[in-house]
Structure 1
């Protein structure tokens, strides 16, 4: 995610200050992690982890 944001920023002639692209990318990553935390386990509720 971060590499794509930096690549986009560079390829588009740096349309915003570096701090702004960093803040926006960090907020997007945080939102993604928060959302992923609400997803159910791919294993399913009837199986338990042996780890």
Structure 2
């Protein structure tokens, strides 16, 4: 997340998601107005929390 937005971040969540056969780690930051996806990157070998088709 850009430095100018870090002070607006209220909460961070992490999830492991399987999407189109790939396992991804997603980090989501919660701000006052919305949830913003901060980072998505491959994380093979982890058990997914959610499976998306």
Task: Pick the structure with greater CA Rg.
Answer: 1
**TM-score for both structures, normalised by structure 1:** 0.21
- Of Structure 1 and Structure 2, the greater strand share is in 2
**TM-score for both structures, normalised by structure 2:** 0.20
